[in-house]
Amino acid sequence: MSNQITINADIAKGTINRNIYGHFSEHLGRCIYEGFWVGEDSVIPNTKGIRNDVVEALKKLNIPVLRWPGGCFADEYHWKDGIGPSEERKRMINTHWGGVVENNHFGTHEFLLLCEQLGCEPYISGNVGSGTVQEMSEWVEYMTFDGVSPMAELREKNGREKPWKLKYFGVGNENWGCGGNMRPEYYADLYRRYQTYVRNYGDNEIYRIACGPNVDDYKWMEVLMREAAGKMDGISLHYYTVPKDWQDKGAATGFPEDEWALTLRKALWMEELITKHSAIMDQYDPEKRVGLIVDEWGTWFNTEPGTNPGFLYQQNSIRDALVAGLTLHIFHDHCDRVQMANIAQIVNVLQSVILTEGEKMLLTPTYHIFDMFKVHQDAELLDTHTTSARYEHGDELLPQISVSASKAADGKIHISLCNLDHSAEADVSIALRGLTQGLKTIKGTVLSGAAIDSHNTFEQPNAVEPAAFTSFTWDGAQVSAKLPAMSVTVLELIEQ
């Protein structure tokens, strides 16, 4: 059976918010220190302590938004420990992640400088678990108030006269777990209280994000929406793709074929999670004013042997690339509700787009998916109908392909296709209707691997990288393509 796709180029289903392509950085393992921050005295080329190679690579992805400082770390982070002369900053134990000493050399000024270098919006997670209302209120004042006040004067004393622009602010993180082990009723009341003091100063208007549910905790979503929907702009959802279980998650490389299909099936569960949580949100917010913010998602495997288990360092293979492609397609399909997503985490932790080792840096297969898919940012999602062949392996039965199409402001149509089958090519027929003119050109890019765990190493950093895709023909508005096994392809179509 071949795969039949119809794309209605004249039917737009909504705008794909560019923030769906957001990222997440936590004080965890080697994400901040070594990943971003090396200090001004480092032999690694840097600008004011932030390594240049990582910033330059990330700028190519058009990163829209970066979340910080956690994660679980956010609810034990006290921001005043991370301002002022670095040699005077308080040292603390990072109790969540490895028990290592946190020297607070990377704080508010350094994070907002990083965002300026990347050209992205900052998204800050405030401390509800162990912090106070006053502490959270003063942090917002410190960053955004333009006038005479104690926090504005403290900011100026630390070298920043003008305030920063800050739009996205999370009121707590995982308060059902590491952020305080709260009941939803208790957190809902705390949220209402804390968000009151997250002030808008001048023309800086903050988008307040409440801590939402863990995976399929639909009661948490129900309670938060019932009690506080009118006082939030967004609510978060966390879901990680874990192939096996939390005690033995499975290896990032060297895994058996069964875990390929198992992993992709679990990644596809994101569709059900968003659908059911959105249905609850619709009851209290039928106008869809409140955004669903999937601010932690991605693969989670066993840590690499020989590394600190609290650092969550794992390799990244072509399987991760498929998980990224499938998940981004699901976010596209729910663009009416999903307004931001942040893959965890950006460098050296979980499903990273970049890995570093001393002065070395490599781009992972997931990086290449974000690079290939950036054409979807802020584009109009096109109506698409797919009849997919089946991918059957062991007990797993999945659709062979996943498809998403969008139309950019310049009129170009982009079609991204994932072939989930790890061993078979996929024949695809694409019917394009609703074109205003005939097709002028088509070009394609493909990412695949020689094995189910193909990945890049510091010895072979380009083992998995995009290549030109030419296995297609087209006649009028009909395109036929043959997708490699375990691949992600993006086609660009230009009308005459």
Catalytic residues: 174, 296
Residue 242 near residue 300 (C-beta atoms within 8 A): yes
Which of 292, 381, 378, 304 is CA-nearest to residue 342?
Answer: 292
Task: List C-alpha distances in Å: 308 to 29, 110, 190, 349, 431.
Answer: 8, 26, 35, 11, 51
Contact 401, 31 (CB under 8 A): no
Rounded Cα gap, residues 43 and 59, in angstroms: 22
How far apart (Å, rounded) are the C-alpha atoms in residues 387 and 400?
Answer: 10
**From the CB of residue 226, how many other CB atoms can be counted at a distance below 10 Å?**
14
- Phi-psi domain of 447 (left: phi exceeds 0; alpha: psi -120 through 50; beta: other): beta
Cβ pair 229, 285 in contact under 8 A? yes
The CA distance from 101 to 113, in Å, is 23
Q: Can you say whether the dihedral through the CA atoms of 113, 114, 118, 124 is positive or negative?
A: negative
- Compute, in degrees rounded to 10, the torsion defined by CA atoms 192, 195, 197, 199: -140
Q: CA 466, 467, 468, 472 torsion: positive or negative? A: negative
* Count of H-run helices and E-run strands, the chain: 9, 26
Work out the angle at residue 158's Cα, subtended by the Cα atoms of residues 153 and 162, and round it to the nearest 5 degrees: 60
Q: What 8-state DSSP symbol labels residue 254?
A: S
CA distance 266 to 264: 5
411, two tokens: 């009129």
Helix (H) or strand (E) holding 143: helix 133-144
Amino acid at residue number 324: A
How many CA atoms, within 13 angstroms, populate the side-chain half-sphere of residue 427? 2
Measured CA to CA in angstroms, residue 384 lies from 100, 184, 387 at distances of: 49, 38, 10
Q: Quick one: tokens of 461?
A: 């950093």
Query: Is beta strand 338-344 parallel, antiparallel or unpaired with respect to 467-469?
Result: unpaired
- C-alpha span between 354 and 341 (Å, rounded): 18
**Gyration radius from the chain CA atoms:** 23
The beta strand positions in 225-325, using DSSP E, are 234-241, 291-299
